[in-house]
Structure 1
Amino acid sequence: MLELDLPWWQFPLRATLVYVALQVLVRLSGRRTVGQFTPFELLVVMLLSESASNGLAG
């Protein structure tokens, strides 16, 4: 139950990589609120959040 499937160092590395990638994407998209998103942009943000959670969970 307490045994990890992956080495311990991969979890902080994944978290760091996902955080940096999301920060870059946020900077590229500009500073807009959710109310200013088009439906397509909102869908992309939702897909990014899902992929980020999968990447962090391993």
Structure 2
Amino acid sequence: MGRKYIDCREFPSESKCSVAISADSEDELIEVAVQHAVLVHKHQDSPELRQMLKGAFKDAPPPA
């Protein structure tokens, strides 16, 4: 499996967050993305949040 990422710039927010997070596994990425969403964006950890975040995962380009 290739590297995955999620980028806050793809979500509208008042904070104009520019954080992008990547990981080698979806399990690792979802845990970090949820922590960021809860701590920074004040979302509640829920199955719906996790599903929405997983739906926004993208394949990361190969390293240069």
| TM-score by shorter chain over 0.5 | no
Question: Which of the two has greater strand per residue?
Answer: 2
TM-score, normalising length: structure 2 = 0.33
Larger Rg over CA atoms: 1
Higher RCO structure, 1 or 2 (CA under 8 Å, sep 6+)? 1
